[in-house]
Structure 1
Amino acid sequence: MDEDLAPDETAAIAPAIPGISGELSAAILMMLLEDGDATTILQHLAPDEVKALGKGMFEASSANETDVERALESFVASNRDLSALAVGAPVRIREMMHKALGNVRAGNILSEIEPQSSAPSLDILRWMDVASISELVASEHPQVAAVILSVLTPEVSALAISSLDEATQTDLLFRSANLRSISAEAIEDLEAILMNYTSGKAHAPDVALGGRNEVARIVKNLPRPAAEKLLRSLRKKDRLLADAIEEEMFVFDDLAALDAKALGTILRNVDADQIALAIKGASDVLGEKMLGTLSARAAQTIKDDIADMGQVKRTDVEAAQKAVIAVARQMAASGEIVMGGKSDDYV
């Protein structure tokens, strides 16, 4: 390399690391750590960071060897200029001060020189769901509510006050804007309020369980005779519910699992305009498979219709796809085609 090149020019011609997002890189690195080390890192992150990193870790579970290599290269490159003095600095400084001066004198000095942040005991606010925070803000004294808003991220604070009337919002923002510091006594009062609230009133977010979609998946995985028998029994208890579950069992994308003969049989019983709309919103693979079951002339006509459509309403596409599935369900019920559910236990 030419030694006369300026530093900026040298950096410019350095080989670039193949692209990998920062989120995926961080998630891969977390997965490579020992569980204890990863847990320690998570304990120091904000709730939104934990959510983002956790989501990335699920995605990173399918990362290949190249992704791992890129993540490690990215980590080394981004930390090449990181000073060793910065690693764990706050903890080291506090420990040195306490050992040298004693707890009381060190505490007095650190209170003056240490960068300020919200009290650790108030971090519980960052983990509360927005509905509980909004209820707390609405029920407490405005000055207490203003402090709460100041501890939260701006995004969460905005959601928390969104349901309040304009006068209350204005008052809280005015008070928050005029906050400068909070006394230890005020912090203690707020801690007591939070302890009381979280032990009695606050609630964890509801967990989505069950529902028609989950039941449809269960029934769909049963042997076909058992599935049909269950649906008949459900229909006696609640016809609309049984119909909804059956509709969830067979969705438009399931048509991709049919053989060309069965799929062609279905499409011959569907209007051409509905087929065109349905294919308009289908995946490329399913769309091509559907067209492949038609005659060359019919397929070309539908392709032309789709090209002339331009943008269409999603509701129109969904209605057309439901019409195709309705025909498929009718034909499956009559035994003309076989779709969904496990095959019968016959050999």
Structure 2
Amino acid sequence: MDEDLDIAESPLGAPAVPSISGELSAAILMMLLEDDDATAILQHLAPDEVKALGKGMFEASSANENDVERALETFVSSNRDLSALAVGAPVRIREMMHKALGNVRAGNILSEIEPQSSAPSLDILRWMDVASISELVSSEHPQVAAVILSVLTPEVSAQAIAALDEPTQTDLLFRSANLSSISADAIEDLEAILINYTSRKAHAPDVALGGRNEVARIVKNLPRPTAEKLLRALRKKDRLLADAIEEEMFVFDDLAALDAKTLGTILRNVDSEQIGLAVKGASELLGEKMLSTLSARAAQTIRDDIADMGQVKRTDVEAAQKAVIAVARQMAASGEIQMGGKGDDYV
């Protein structure tokens, strides 16, 4: 009986054995540990990781001897060079991202993928249900509530403030957008609010959180009418801040999510030289998608221009990409195109 199997490469001509997924491998390894050791590991994982691992552990309960052997082989193979890779990894990754993509694009991507370091007292918030968070946000001092929103994921923050009145929503987003760090004293105040937690660091360093990018992601997860209303309200308090938040809500790489018709409509209103520079700095997938919306002649002309460009300044590329996004925003504001993320949500 033929089956489609994921076959691992075998060294020295040894018989090939089906590989095993990383998720199932991790779950099997957890089941092999003593309860105390497994518990210690779970305590250091994020809520989503615990859920995924727990689900895998239920599946691993029916694993056979071959599955266990493959899980151990996967673990040894994956971690053989871990120490060499791990040294200074966060710093190296950030530097590579900034050099390759520029500060703006790198900052946007890193804000989504980089593990956030926070005080243990703030981590407990990520385990609370939305209803409890919403009640906490509505009952505490606005500045404390702003800190809470900045600690949570944008999706959870959006749900937490959804039931609040518009002035409160506006005030909390304004405060959160102006956060850059939180002092150890403020952390201690928050610790007093969060029950079932005892402080272990009286002199903890400042924790980076909040800011315009984080608020942009919160607003992005709100229904479009609500998001637009809040942006107008924020603009009355601080026009430059509101403009900066709106800019963060739709960046160049988000063009990949648009359908070909909408993307083509945008590009027909952009100078071909700017399109060329923008495509040169784009990913191969996005670049080809952009060119595919143009006529064959126009696309080939731009390809030829890119080939003749040689090296160009990253600042010029970023300026061209911002110009494309500016056109997209103007057309969306005038109703010529629709830009949406989830359903009718604002992007």
TM-score range for the pair, normalised by the shorter chain length: 0.3 to 0.5
Instruction: Tell me the TM-score normalized by structure 2.
Output: 0.47
**Which TM-score applies when normalising by structure 1?**
0.47
